[in-house]
A = this chain, B = another copy of it.
Amino acid sequence: MLSIVGKSGSGKTHLILRLIEEIKKRGYSIAIVKHHAHGDFEIDKEGKDTWKFYNGGADAVMISSPVKQALIRRTDGEESVRNLYERYLRDYDIVITEGFNREGLPRIVIADSEEDLDYFSHGEIIAVISRNEISGFRTLSPDDVGEIADIIISFEKENR
């Protein structure tokens, strides 16, 4: 498991979408974990039974079909991303988290300049994604999706 971090608007979501496509093409399973730091988030569609159950006060709601499962649950405070991994995501070949800067996971940082890196130095920086040269780090362009995927796959193989 590793994080992709970067300032708001730096292109994390777009990069992750390109990585999903690339990594799936190579036959690996992949899970993405998004951090929503501030309060509640909206998910599900108003009026659906699952929406009604959750908004009616259920602590957890699941829906299961032959092709998809979903779980939505209330939590009492933030759970560490390590716990989420252990509980839900152990079976996937590749797990990428978006955000979770403070949790200290090894990370790929999207940065415009060296100054941007300070804020994201809570964990080992495996690579930097930038259109500018960042000294002291392995730097790739956001267009080098194949090479970024190589780095992620190698990292996951070495760290399981």
The interface of chain A, by Cβ under 8 A from chain B, is 13, 16-17, 20-21, 24, 29-45, 48-50, 52-53, 56-75, 77-79, 81, 84, 88-89, 92, 98
Chain B residues contacting A35 (CB-CB under 8 Å) are 63-65
Chain B residues contacting A42 (CB-CB under 8 Å) are 45, 48
C-alpha spacing A66/B43, complex, angstroms: 15
C-alpha spacing A16/B62, complex, angstroms: 14
Q: Judge whether B44 and A44 touch: CB under 8 Å.
A: yes
* Residue of B with least CB distance to A41: B65
Number of copies: 2
Chain B residues contacting A63 (CB-CB under 8 Å) are 33-36, 41, 43
Chain B residues contacting A89 (CB-CB under 8 Å) are 60, 62
**Cβ-closest 10 pairs across A and B:** A31-B60, A36-B65, A33-B62, A66-B78, A32-B53, A34-B63, A29-B59, A71-B71, A70-B72, A17-B56
Kindly identify which residue among B43, B61, B66, B73 contacts A75, using a CB–CB cutoff of 8 Å. Answer: B66
- Distance from A5 Cβ to chain B, minimum over Cβ atoms (Å): 15
Q: Judge whether B33 and A64 touch: CB under 8 Å.
A: yes
C-alpha spacing A39/B65, complex, angstroms: 6
* Residue of B with least CB distance to A42: B45
